[in-house]
Structures are given as structure tokens and as C-alpha cells.
Structure 1
Amino acid sequence: MAVGALPRKRHSQFRDDGRLLVEEVMGYEGFSGNESILYHLGSPCRIAQVGALTPLRHREWTPPAHVHRLADFRALPAGGDPITSRQVLMWNGDLEVAIAKPTEPLQGFYRNGEGDEVIYVHRGAGALRTVFGRLEFAEKDYLVIPRGTTVTWELDGGEQFWLVFHTPGEIETPTRYRNRYGQLLEHAPFSQRDFRGPDALETYDESGEFRLTVRVRGGLQDYLLDRHPFDVVGWDGYVWPYTFNAADFEPRAGRFHLPPPTHQTFQGPGFVICTFAPRMLDWDPEAVPLPYHHSNIQSEEVMFYAEGDYAARKGVEIGCITLHPSGLPHGPQPGTVERALGATATNELAVMWDTFRPLHLTTAWREHDNPEYAFSWNPDWDASSGGGGDRPPEEALTIAERGDGEATVTGPSA
């Protein structure tokens, strides 16, 4: 992709009204990965003041029981800007997941210097303004922001509800969707036409005071610049922010039910992100149009419910997240399979991420956790009242002492 003015050759003199421009190469894997070249009016290294480094620390919640979990984040408080509003729910060494409900624009600029970001816009709209140009976003958009990209946000006046992914690795489309040159193949569930990059550049030749916050070394480092960071007159290359709308995902169906990798949208080191979009269902007369029971032997499966009716789950509303951790089987709840037989289509929209290393939960999850969900596979469970009894599973699944002093398990696992 190329935007703005460019010289005929790389690493050659390029001037604007006689002023020699500053060339910046921004790339992955040293000089061996994808890169873009940007041309600045001034040096991107220039800073006026260095502020504090504020550590980012996760407040971990270690649940007393290893069970399937459900949390409802509709009531999670809104407030803050697109950075300070982020409330981390879970993380491991490969991925960090937060919910953000910003109510005010960012005062200044932000750059993630230690990871790529993906933001799924569940509710809201606005513009991501970047050093590469302006990028409008709306509901159901994934915003993919490469590390090192200087950005700020404009928000519309409505509700904002975002799902924010951060990874120290690189966000890519799945390898199996691309040929050896990187072009998306015909069987991929999207094409290059479905990805929108920045449009016209915003170029400022301005002096003043401009605050820049950089995420780096596990914290937020503040700087004060004396030049506007959006001073790029042109750029080209393969590294740039873009949007992809979940409504443009072309889902697949089969004679019998297809597995979750069918819905994969992005990949990163140690995790995948999938889009369960509205689609036709399995067409064989004997097909079961819901997921089969399966055991997550090597992965954690997490799903955010964004729209429609997810037929395999009872008691799950839009804005909820389920966590099905490794070591435990899961599948449709009692009664859902029978009700789904004969269905020809589903209107669900969900975002799923699978990680291949265990996830840690935070106190932000704990505040919205529904402990009764672990019992929802019991035939007599009532989603409206919670059928696990008066005690949450952390208390019900305990080792009790029998009269003879021998330990036994009480609760549904007995």
C-alpha cells in the first residue's frame, strides 16, 4: 500500500519545498520481516521531556476451583479514554484481553511499543487517527494496529464497548489462507478487498506541546514532544493499521458440522481469533447442527457473545464471555441439541479466542463471574434461577470429612 508523496528510489534524497525529509523504516524481525517506509518533515526521535514510567500490573484472581466460567460484562462501568478505560480480564505470555468502554477521547497520542493490538468494536464508532492516516471504524469492525504505530482516537457520541487484544507477537491472517507470496487464496473466508487501510494522510508541520504515551517494558512511558507526531507526507510498504468488519467474514458450512478452525480470522503466537458469523447450517437430514462435545486437551477456549442467539448455550446474553479451560470437556447444554435439529441457519455473531497456554484471570473478571455456570450441563439446571444450589461451585466442590474420617468429594462431581 502507498499513500502520499514518495521518492522514486528508497534511501535517496527527498525534499519538501527544499527541506530534506527524514526517512523512517518501520519493520518486523529486524530487517527480515514486513516493513513500511515513512517520510517525515522532522525527526521521529525528537523529544522535549521524559516523564514517568508507570508499571502495568495485573491484579490476579486465582479461582478456588477449576471449572467452566461465565461472566456478564454489560454492567462493567464505562469511563476514561481509549487507554485508561481498558480493564484486563485475562492474560498469559502470549495474549492479554481487556474490555474498554471509553467515554472521552485520548488527550494526546499513544503508541504500543511492545505488541500488536486488535480491537473488536462491539458498540461504538469513530476514527482512529494514525501516523499512516485516518481510519474510520464502526460496529463489528476489527481494528488491527501494528506495534510502533502512533495513534489517537476520535469517538462518536454514543456508547463504546470494545474487546481489546494485545500480543507481544505479530497479528496475521492464518497461514493456510495465503499462498507462498502472501496473497489470500480463493478458499479464504475473506479477500484483500475486505480490508480497509488508512485514507488521506493528516500531515501537520506544527510546533507546540504534544503528549505521547508509549507502552513499553511492561509499563506506560510518558514523553512530551515539541513537534506534532503526525508529520508524515508519504509512506509505502506492508505494515499499516487496517479494519476488517465481521460482517465481511464469509462463513463455511458442510454436510455435517465443521470444527471451530473453520471460523479462524487471525493468528498470533500461541493463540487464534475466530469469528462465528451468521451462516447456513449443516444440510444432511441426519446432521446435528450444534458443536459436538469436545475436550480442550491443550487449549483454553474463550467466547464473547456479540449478537443473535447462540443456540448451544443457555443463560448466556449478548455482552457475556464464557471460558472453557483446558482439562475439561464442554459442549451443548441439555435440551439445546434437540431444539436445534432441523435448523437451517443461525444468526449468531461471536468472537472466540483459543490460547495454547493457560490463562490467568483478573479481579475484573471476578467481579462479574457467575459461579452457577459450572452446573449448567446438569439436566435440572435453570438458567434463570441458577440450579447449582445455594452455594457457588467453589464452595460446593470441596473435600468433606465423612464420619469415618475418609475424604470424599461432595457436590455434582461426586
Structure 2
Amino acid sequence: MRERNAECHYHAGFRNHVSSEALPGALPQGQNSPQQCPYGLYAEQLSGSAFTAPRSHNLRSWLYRIRPSVVQGAYQPMEMPQVATAPLAERMPDPNPMRWDPIAFCAGDFLEGLITLAVNGDAQAQQGCATHLYAFSRGMQQRFFYNADGELLIVPQQGAIEVRSELGLLEVASGEIVVIPRGIKFQLNPLAGHAEGCRGYVAENYGAPLELPSLGPIGSNGLANPRDFLAPSARFEDEAGDFTLVAKFGGRFWRASLDHSPLDVVAWHGNYAPYKYDLATFNTINTVSFDHPDPSIFTVLTSPSDTAGVANLDFVIFPPRWMVAENTFRPPYFHRNLMSELMGLIHGEYDAKREGFRPGGASLHNAMTPHGPDAATFEAASQAELAPRYQSNTLAFMFESRYLFQPTPQALSSSARQRDYGSVWQGLASHFTPHTTPQFTP
């Protein structure tokens, strides 16, 4: 295999217009598709939005590649029964709170280790999302993949991964995320030294591409900063052989044969590319007086819907942070919410659960399903001394959506499902004392 710029080189900034070339002079000057491209390359535009989308939301990159993407075999259907797409045949969302333990590693690659947990919306209507878990132990070797149904937000929990894409290489560790836009071809492998296995979470976003949330009264700084998002530099493979391109299209999986690596883009420019983000760079906003700001202050990325302020998909994190609120029950409060929440834990403990919520596991609370701290957390936090405390051993996140999540049949029947999850609240006894005088300091 002949590779150029095999090491990771990144461009900073969220959806900046990037120009990158692995060979000097490979980018045409002055026009996107000249009659003859440098080095005998082919020009190919990859559009992630409608041509007529507003300039601020128009996504496209020009790729200069050794062979155009049309050089491939015919697509044939393939079976991937463990991966589901919305809508499911029977739409029966469940109001019960649910929780799952981490799934076991499989001996296969990323695609074989991918299992759908829950879906909502409708992929072909470009609404909603799917949530998946992955646990795999080997690379994709001669296989490559692209998703025509939605962009992929990947959250590694254990083991670092490398994402070899058409536009370059990204190395992503636990505590970081990577977003692979709709249609971009890639290969996902364990990073060298992580052959013991890689595990994590995936949100497949059918709706509008993820973007940074508006800051409103927060001002111009805070939360995720654009400069901390990193896109890859151009890197190409010029290799002949027997390869397979797997596509997810219309809820089904398809495969086509290739006689060359599809990662043969020598240069590119545009704003439609994979990107990674280190969650440790998130500038957390929190109260310095009393009570809780709403958890929307922890939003890293959002996919807006056609209703202002109501997200198709939010990616929200609960990172290490100072807890200083006075006269306040500090863990997340008891809550019923219009949005549906699917939660994961990357490492440590989540401050609303004393036990049972394990790194690599997941929980689901659909719209208006009550949830909150378990009995042990409530009792401890109600009596705790309210000195300033740094919440250090934690990194949890939520995939939050306006649409109800429907767990897949395999998720409902999985041995990893904690069927006694609801019991964590059964110890919440009545403390009602109607004949005492309240002691409260405002």
C-alpha cells in the first residue's frame, strides 16, 4: 500500500473552509473542476446539503481523487439483522424507564459489533435518529463503509479508534468524539495498542446536520469552542486489490465490490468533512449561587428541527465540574421532560446514581417518564455538607430527542437489560411531617 501523509495532521475550527493536499499543487487553482486536474486526478463534489441551502448552512467539499466514486461494482443486498432503522414495523414506544449493562465484545469488526438500542422518527423523511452500541476487537481490513441515511456521532467509551476516511485520518480516544457526515466513506479500526477491544456509543442522526448551539445570554464564549474541533488533512491510498464497500441506504445494507481502495483522495477543499472533538475542552457553565440551570447548558452539538428550540437530536455531556450551589439539592433533580433521553456513561460515576449505571451501559427515559436520583443518592445528598466540591470522577452524556425512542426487540430481550431498574426508586420513603414548622434559609 502506498500512503502519503499517513500521520495525523489536523485543521482547527468547526466547519471552517479547509484546503488540504497530500501532494504539492494537487489542488486546482482558480476553479473547482478544470478541464484537466493536476496529476491526472478526477474532480468530484460531495454535497451534504441542498445546493440552494442558505450559505451559512451550505455544506460541500470538492475531492480530487485517483478514481471517481462511480468506479465500483453493482450493489447487492446484505444482511445486518442487529442494526435497525426507524421506523420499526411495530411502533410501540414504552414509557417504562430502562437500563442496560455494557454489551459483550464480539470477535468481528465495527460493523459486526454494532447493535441498535433504540430508534425514533423516520430515516427516509430525514427526521429523528437511531442509537447504537458497538463492541468489537478487530479492524475492518478490506471493508469500507458509508451511511446514506444519516451522519454518525461516535462516542468511544473503551479503547481508542482510528477513522480512516476519504478526507484523511482521525485518531479518537475515550473522552473524545468523532462525527462522520452522511455519505463519507471510511474504515474504523482499533488504534494500535488497543486490540483488547473497543466499545462505545453511536447516534445516527437522520435530521439536520449537527451544529453548535446558539449561546444566547451566555454571550460569545463558553460551552464548545469552534477552534477545538479538528478536521483531517488529506491523505491517500493508491492500492489495487479486492475490497468491499458497504452502504447503509434506506434502512438496508448493501455491498459493492471494488478493485481499489476508495480512500484515494489526494486533495480536497470545503467544509464537509469528518471532525473530532475532545470533551475535556468543553467550557462548562454552572450556577455560582443556588438551584440548577437547565441541563441544556451542557449541550455540545445540536441537530435543529423545524420547531425553534426543539431539537431533533442534542448531544449533551455531564463533565467534571465544580459544585458550589448553596441551599440546593445538588444532584440532578426529579424530573419529567418533553424530550426523550438516552444516556450513556464513559467513565466514573453519574452523580444521580449510586450503583447499577456502569461505564459502557445505557439508560432510557422517554418523554414524560419520571426519573431522577435513586434512593441512596437522595438520602446522601439531602444530608451532605454543602461545601464547594469538585465533581472529578465522571463523564456521562445524553442523546436527547423530541421524538419518542422505541427500543428494538433485541434490546428489550437482551440479557444486558436490567429488568429490575425501577427498583432503584422504591426506597424513596415519605418524609412528610405536616405538624412541624419548616426550617428554611432562603
The TM-score normalised by the length of structure 2 is: 0.77
- 1:403 alignment counterpart: none
Q: CA RMSD, aligned part only? A: 2.7
- The count of residues paired between Structure 1 and Structure 2 equals 372
Greater Cα shift, 21-30 or 38-47: 21-30
- 2:6 alignment counterpart: none
One-letter amino acid of the structure 2 residue matched with residue 314 of structure 1: R
Structure 1: gaps (5+ residues): 382-414
Provide the secondary structure at the position in 2 that maps to 1:175.
coil
One-letter amino acid of the structure 2 residue matched with residue 195 of structure 1: F
Alignment of 1:286-365 (within 5 A): 286-296=327-337, 298-315=338-355, 316-334=357-375, 335-342=379-386, 344-347=389-392, 348-365=394-411
Could you report, residue by residue, the CA deviation over 1:119-154 in whole angstroms, capped at 9, with x for unpaired residues?
A: 100011131111101111111121100011111123
Alignment CA distance shift 1:354-1:251 (3 Å): same
- 1:11 alignment counterpart: 33
Q: Counterparts of 2:260 and 2:104 in 1: how far apart (Å)?
A: 37
Is contact 2:174–2:346 with CA below 8 Å preserved after alignment? no
Is contact 1:131–1:230 with CA below 8 Å preserved after alignment? yes
Could you report, residue by residue, the CA deviation over 1:132-183 in whole angstroms, capped at 9, with x for unpaired residues?
A: 011111111211000111111231323211101112223323331499xxxx
Q: Counterparts of 2:268 and 2:216 in 1: how far apart (Å)?
A: 25
Q: Counterparts of 2:203 and 2:402 in 1: how far apart (Å)?
A: 16
Is contact 1:38–1:234 with CA below 8 Å preserved after alignment? yes
2:203 to 165, 180, 193: 165
Alignment of 1:84-233 (within 5 A): 84-93=112-121, 94-106=128-140, 107-156=142-191, 157-177=195-215, 186-204=220-238, 206-233=239-266
Alignment CA distance shift 1:137-1:352 (3 Å): same
Provide the secondary structure at the position in 2 that maps to 1:215.
strand
- 1:235 alignment counterpart: 268
% identity of equivalent residues: 24
Could you list the runs of 4 or more consecutive aligned residues of structure 1 that deviate by over 3 angstroms after TM superposition? 53-66
Alignment CA distance shift 1:146-1:307 (3 Å): same
Could you report, residue by residue, the CA deviation over 1:290-341 in whole angstroms, capped at 9, with x for unpaired residues?
A: 2222212x22122112222222223233333222222332222331432555
- 2:95 alignment counterpart: 66
Q: Counterparts of 2:135 and 2:333 in 1: how far apart (Å)?
A: 34
Structure 2: gaps (5+ residues): 1-17, 122-127, 306-311, 430-442
Q: Counterparts of 2:116 and 2:267 in 1: how far apart (Å)?
A: 36
Provide the secondary structure at the position in 1 that maps to 2:214.
helix
Could you report, residue by residue, the CA deviation over 1:235-288 in whole angstroms, capped at 9, with x for unpaired residues?
A: 11111001112222121111232211011111124221101100011343x233
Alignment CA distance shift 1:178-1:118 (3 Å): farther
Q: Counterparts of 2:386 and 2:219 in 1: how far apart (Å)?
A: 33
Q: Counterparts of 2:372 and 2:138 in 1: how far apart (Å)?
A: 40
Is contact 2:170–2:232 with CA below 8 Å preserved after alignment? yes
Q: State whether structure 2 residue 76 is matched by structure 1 residue 76.
A: no
The TM-score normalised by the length of structure 1 is: 0.82
Provide the secondary structure at the position in 2 that maps to 1:289.
coil
One-letter amino acid of the structure 2 residue matched with residue 115 of structure 1: G
- 2:9 alignment counterpart: none
One-letter amino acid of the structure 1 residue matched with residue 223 of structure 2: P
Q: Counterparts of 1:168 and 1:275 in 2: how far apart (Å)?
A: 21
Q: Counterparts of 1:292 and 1:178 in 2: how far apart (Å)?
A: 24
Q: Counterparts of 1:312 and 1:339 in 2: how far apart (Å)?
A: 15
Provide the secondary structure at the position in 2 that maps to 1:222.
strand
Could you report, residue by residue, the CA deviation over 1:60-117 in whole angstroms, capped at 9, with x for unpaired residues?
A: 89999732222212x5343321112101111112111111111111132111122100
Q: Counterparts of 1:290 and 1:238 in 2: how far apart (Å)?
A: 39
Q: Counterparts of 1:82 and 1:237 in 2: how far apart (Å)?
A: 28
Q: Counterparts of 2:74 and 2:94 in 1: how far apart (Å)?
A: 48
Alignment CA distance shift 1:105-1:222 (3 Å): same
Q: Counterparts of 1:63 and 1:45 in 2: how far apart (Å)?
A: 40
Shift of 1:353: 1.6
One-letter amino acid of the structure 2 residue matched with residue 235 of structure 1: W
Provide the secondary structure at the position in 1 that maps to 2:236.
coil
Is contact 1:126–1:154 with CA below 8 Å preserved after alignment? yes
Alignment CA distance shift 1:64-1:196 (3 Å): closer
Provide the secondary structure at the position in 2 that maps to 1:375.
helix
Alignment of 1:271-290 (within 5 A): 271-284=313-326, 286-290=327-331
- 2:11 alignment counterpart: none
Q: Counterparts of 1:208 and 1:155 in 2: how far apart (Å)?
A: 22
